[in-house]
Structures are given as structure tokens and as C-alpha cells.
């Protein structure tokens, strides 16, 4: 039980360690920073940028760095910039910029700004801004720069922003402090505009004074005429006033009643419209409330899904590491099993080698004793050994030739009796005739027959290592290379193997002589192809 408990504790500790390791590899990114993952990121991307959220860093394969989104400011004291009208101007300004969060521009920042300090980034940006600001000024006249500031700022944004995005930056704000020129052209334009404004004001004042005097005279004239007309009309008015007063009184009473009725109708209509608007407002409020609740629920759902996804990824990584550990353990076990098997085989072969060595040493001692018994004559000992192995040799030869079809069979003795009944004599005579064949068979087996069986001189076939073997006559017959035996002119077709011409089946039959040694099938004599 203690052993099982120990194993459980060890397994729990391993799982905790693995989980801690996996958790340590998960990096979270705050909203004001960008995590740049580099190494093996998949596809053709050099890096992977994460803004917000987090990502898992694969050990040994990946690593990460951080880019800050904090705005950076630089003062550009531009002097002597040549405008479109060849007038040099000074445009001191302040640029505020930062690393962009657009995916493509973030990759540029990761490739070009990762690892640089804040001052190094500002230096690079200042150089780009200074050059593009000069280019923007060169496309505008001094009037456009001084009067149309909006157009000037648009041109600056178009030129500077395009170049800054190439290194992962974008402009946040541009502040033009002042615009001056070396020749005083802008100051002269200001004085001219001021003089024109003053003169225009003076002309307008004189015109207004003139219009005032004329208006005053015409007003006095009209006053006198109107006074006379009013005196004449006063009396007529008094008469008509009394009559019209009565009529007006009746009309006003009728209009008052009508007005009251219209007012009541308007009030009723307003109240109805107000009720409708209140109902619409209540309905819109309820709809907005429902939409807000729905958005909250959707956000909670997305948050839960993201949490579950992170947990699933962590679980998968733990499983992956577990499988890797198991695979390593299995590989180690197989290696040790293989090592044990190899050691066992090595020991077996070593024991077998020792046994073979002992057998060979015993045979050597036996051969030594056999030679001593043979009165130190090795040929007699060889004969004894050959006689001992004749049965095995014959068995091997029978096994080798049992399925071969023979074109020629040599019969030493048919076993039939002769006319004089001397079968033994006939056998001995035939045996003498067969001695060459026996010696040839013994030579093929790599042994030497006892001297009691005599020696066979093969005549021209007996070629020593120092003798020169005759070379076959080689020619071309009907488009096929052909060799002729130099002794009997027997014809053989040649075939090329490994860059050499050979006679298939009968080339290199002499184990003693080197080179292409051949026994002629027809005459039995030896020759060579080279």
C-alpha cells in the first residue's frame, strides 16, 4: 500500500509540475502592448503578433518579445526647406506617433523595431519624418503652405504616414508651430493683407456716412408729407372708427368663440400626439434595454467560450507532453531490451567461437598425431582423411547433381560379364582408363588422390603458374562477338559483363590461375580471352 501511495503522490507531483510548466509558457498581452512570437510560427510568416489576449509559447521552438504601444513624440526643427516657388521656409513642428495595431503593419514593426530602445525608434522615425516633410513642402507653394493649413497637413500625413508604416509606425498627431521664410515673403504677404483690410474698412465707413446723410434728408421730407396726410385722415378715421368699432366687436366675439374651439382641438391633438410619442419612447426604451441585455449575454457567452478554449488548449498541451514522456520511456525500455538481446547474442557467439576454437585445436592435435603415425608423410595422412570424408563428399555431390540433366556420362564398369567370364579384369582395365576422370573429379573437389592411383599428365592442359596460356581468337560473326579455341577452333559466343568479355558458364573455371581461364568443352585444353 505504501508503494502504491508513493506512486500516486509521484504522479500527482509530476502532473502539477507539468501543469505549472505549461501555465508558465502561456503569455498574456495587455492592451497597451504587442507580443511578438518568433521562431517556428507556421507558413511563410516570420513572426506572429498578438494584441490583447494571450498565446502559448512552445519551448525550444518559439520565443517572444514585447512592443510598447505608448505614443512617442519628436520635435522636427526643419529649416531651409525649398517650397514649390523656390522660397526656403522654416517649419518647426512636433510629431506624435506610435506602433500601429493593424495586422500587416504590426508584422513590419516586429521585423524592424523588435529589440530597439525607445530612443532608437524615435531616431529612425525622425529621419523618415524630416525627409518626407521636405518632400511635402516641395510640392506646395508658399501661399498654400501659409494659408491652406488643412491641405498642408493632408500632404504631410500622406507622405509621412506611408513611409512610417513600412517600419510599423503611424502618425497620431501633427502640430505645426510656425511657418517663416528667409526672404520675408510671408511677412510681406501679411502686411499686404493688413493694408488691404484697412483700406477696405475706410471705404466702407465713407460709404456709410454718405448713405446716412442722404437718408436723413429723405426722412425729414417724408415726415412732413406724412404729417399732412395724417391730419386729413384723422377726421375720416374718427367717423369710420365708430362704425368699424361695432363691426369689429361682433367679429372679435365670433373669432373668440372660434379661437376657443380651435385651442381646445389643438390641446386634444397635442395630448394625443404626446401619448403616442410617450408610447414610442417607452417601446424604444424597452427595445434598447433588451438589446443591451442581449449584448451582455453575448459578451458573457464569448468570454466563457474563450475560457473553455484556453482550458482545452492547456489540456491538449498537457496530453501532448504526457504522450511524449510515455514515448520517451517506451523508447528507453526498447533500447534496454535491445541492448540485453545484443549482449545475449554476443555471449552466445562468444561461446560458440570458443567451442569452435576448441574443436579446431582438437582437430589440429589429431592431424598432428595422424602425420606422426604416417611416418611424417602428409600425403598418406591426407589419403586417410579423404577416405574418412569420401562418404560425405559423395553425398554432397549426389545432392548437387540430382536434378541436373547430363549430356555425357562416363561408365567405369557396366557389370556385365565378358565372353571369357573375367569381370574383374575388365573392371581393372576400365578403372585404368577412368583414372584421368577420377583425377579430374578430385581436382574439382580440391583434393589429391593417393599415389597408389598414379598421376595423370594432362599434356597441354597442364599449365603452371609461370606458363603463358594461349589466347583465343576473337572476331565478329553476324554482328555477335565470337571466340575460337586456339587448340581446336571450337566456337563460343561472347557476352559483356562488368566491362569484360566472357563466355557464360565456363569463364574463370581455374581456381589457381588468375584471369579469364577457360577449359574448352570440345578438346579439354585451357585457354584465355585476354
- Interval 196-230: pLDDT, tens: 666 676 666 667 766 766 777 677 777 777 776 77
Structure confidence by residue, pLDDT tens digits, 404-440? 665 555 554 555 544 455 454 455 445 544 555 566 6
Contacts of 22 (CB under 8 A, 6+ apart): 56, 314, 317, 318, 321
∠ CA 329-315-31, rounded to 5°? 130
Structure confidence by residue, pLDDT tens digits, 301-320? 888 888 888 888 888 888 88
Percent share of the chain, pLDDT over 70? 70
pLDDT value of residue 428: 47
Long-range contacts of 451-454 (CB under 8 A, 24+ apart): 451/379
* Mean pLDDT rounded to a whole number for the chain: 75
Query: What are the backbone angles phi and psi of residue 296, rounded to the nearest 5°?
Result: -65, -45
Q: Residue 116: how many CB atoms within 10 A of its CB?
A: 15
Handedness of CA 500, 505, 511, 512 (dihedral sign): negative
Contacts of 253 (CB under 8 A, 6+ apart): none
Instruction: Report how far apart the first and last C-alpha atoms of the chain are (Å, whole number).
Output: 85
b/e map of 126-160 (b: 16 or more CB within 10 Å)?
bebbbebbeebbeebebebbbeeeeebbebbeebb
- Of 510, 395, 526, 358, whose CA–CA distance to 458 is shortest? 526
CB 472 within 8 A of CB 484: yes
| Banded model confidence at residue 461, pLDDT cuts 50, 70, 90 | very low
Strands 180-181 and 169-176: unpaired
Contacts of 178 (CB under 8 A, 6+ apart): 90, 91, 92
Asked whether residue 280 carries a pLDDT value surpassing 60, the answer given is yes
Query: What cell numbers appear for 524 in the block?
Result: 579439354
Structure confidence by residue, pLDDT tens digits, 120-137? 999 999 999 988 888 888
* Dihedral angle of Cα 491, 492, 494, 495, to the nearest 10 degrees: 160
∠ CA 140-146-150, rounded to 5°? 75
Name the residue ranges covered by the structural domains of the chain.
17-65, 70-183, 374-404+427-456, 459-528
Q: Which overall architecture, per CATH, does domain 70-183 show?
A: 2-Layer Sandwich (3.30)
Query: What cell numbers appear for 182 in the block?
Result: 528667409
Percent share of the chain, pLDDT over 90? 4
| Banded model confidence at residue 355, pLDDT cuts 50, 70, 90 | confident
CB 33 within 8 A of CB 55: no
Least confidently predicted of 77-81, 164-168, 194-198: 194-198
Number of H helices, E strands in the chain: 8, 16
State which of 59-63, 64-68, 521-525 shows the largest mean pLDDT: 64-68
Residue with cell 565378358: 418
Amino acid at each position: 500500500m505504501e508503494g502504491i501511495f508513493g506512486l500516486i503522490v509521484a504522479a500527482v507531483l509530476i502532473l502539477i509540475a507539468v501543469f505549472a510548466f505549461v501555465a508558465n509558457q502561456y503569455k498574456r498581452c495587455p492592451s497597451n502592448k504587442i507580443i511578438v512570437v518568433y521562431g517556428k510560427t507556421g507558413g511563410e510568416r516570420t513572426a506572429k503578433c498578438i494584441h490583447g489576449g494571450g498565446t502559448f509559447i512552445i519551448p525550444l521552438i518559439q520565443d517572444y518579445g514585447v512592443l510598447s504601444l505608448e505614443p512617442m513624440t519628436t520635435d522636427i526643427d526643419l529649416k531651409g526647406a525649398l517650397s514649390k516657388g523656390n522660397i526656403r521656409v522654416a517649419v518647426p513642428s512636433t510629431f506624435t506617433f506610435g506602433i500601429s495595431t493593424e495586422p500587416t503593419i504590426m508584422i513590419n514593426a516586429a521585423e524592424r523595431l523588435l529589440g530597439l530602445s525607445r530612443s532608437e525608434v524615435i531616431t529612425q522615425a525622425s529621419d523618415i519624418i524630416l525627409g518626407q516633410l521636405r518632400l511635402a513642402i516641395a510640392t506646395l507653394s508658399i501661399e498654400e503652405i501659409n494659408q491652406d493649413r488643412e491641405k498642408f497637413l493632408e500632404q504631410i500625413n500622406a507622405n509621412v504616414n506611408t513611409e512610417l508604416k513600412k517600419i510599423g509606425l503611424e502618425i497620431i498627431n501633427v502640430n505645426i508651430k510656425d511657418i517663416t521664410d528667409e526672404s520675408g515673403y510671408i511677412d510681406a504677404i501679411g502686411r499686404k493683407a493688413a493694408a488691404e483690410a484697412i483700406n477696405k474698412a475706410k471705404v466702407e465707413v465713407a460709404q456709410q456716412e454718405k448713405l446716412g446723410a442722404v437718408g436723413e434728408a429723405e426722412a425729414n421730407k417724408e415726415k412732413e408729407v406724412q404729417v399732412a396726410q395724417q391730419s386729413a385722415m384723422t377726421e375720416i378715421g374718427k367717423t369710420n372708427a365708430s362704425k368699424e368699432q361695432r363691426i369689429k366687436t361682433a367679429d372679435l366675439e365670433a373669432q373668440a368663440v372660434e379661437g376657443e374651439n380651435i385651442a381646445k382641438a389643438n390641446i386634444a391633438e397635442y395630448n394625443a400626439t404626446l401619448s403616442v410619442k410617450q408610447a414610442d419612447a417607452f417601446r424604444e426604451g424597452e427595445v434598447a434595454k433588451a438589446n443591451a441585455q442581449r449584448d451582455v449575454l453575448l459578451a458573457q457567452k464569448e468570454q466563457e467560450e474563450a475560457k473553455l478554449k484556453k482550458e482545452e488548449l492547456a489540456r491538449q498541451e498537457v496530453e501532448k507532453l504526457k504522450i511524449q514522456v510515455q514515448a520517451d520511456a517506451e523508447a528507453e525500455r526498447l533500447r534496454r531490451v535491445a541492448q540485453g538481446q545484443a549482449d545475449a547474442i554476443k555471449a552466445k557467439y562468444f561461446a560458440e567461437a570458443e567451442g569452435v576454437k576448441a574443436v579446431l585445436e582438437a582437430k589440429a592435435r589429431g592431424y598432428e598425431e595422424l602425420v606422426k603415425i604416417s611416418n611424417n608423410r602428409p600425403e598418406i595422412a591426407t589419403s586417410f582423411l579423404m577416405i574418412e570424408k569420401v562418404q560425405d563428399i559423395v553425398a554432397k555431390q549426389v545432392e548437387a547433381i540430382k536434378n541436373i540433366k547430363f549430356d555425357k556420362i562416363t561408365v567405369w564398369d557396366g557389370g556385365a560379364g565378358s565372353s571369357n567370364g573375367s569381370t574383374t579384369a575388365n573392371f581393372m582395365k576400365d578403372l585404368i582408363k577412368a583414372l584421368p576422370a577420377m583425377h579430374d573429379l578430385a581436382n574439382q573437389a580440391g583434393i589429391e588422390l593417393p599415389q597408389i592411383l598414379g598421376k595423370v599428365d594432362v599434356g597441354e592442359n597442364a599449365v603452371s603458374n609461370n606458363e603463358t596460356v594461349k589466347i583465343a581468337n576473337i572476331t565478329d560473326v553476324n554482328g555477335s562477338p565470337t571466340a575460337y579455341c586456339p587448340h581446336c577452333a571450337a566456337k563460343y559466343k561472347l557476352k559483356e559483363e562488368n566491362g569484360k568479355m566472357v563466355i557464360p558458364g565456363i569463364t574463370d573455371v581455374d581456381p589457381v590461375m588468375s584471369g579469364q581461364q577457360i577449359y574448352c568443352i570440345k578438346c579439354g585444353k585451357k585457354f584465355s580471352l585476354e
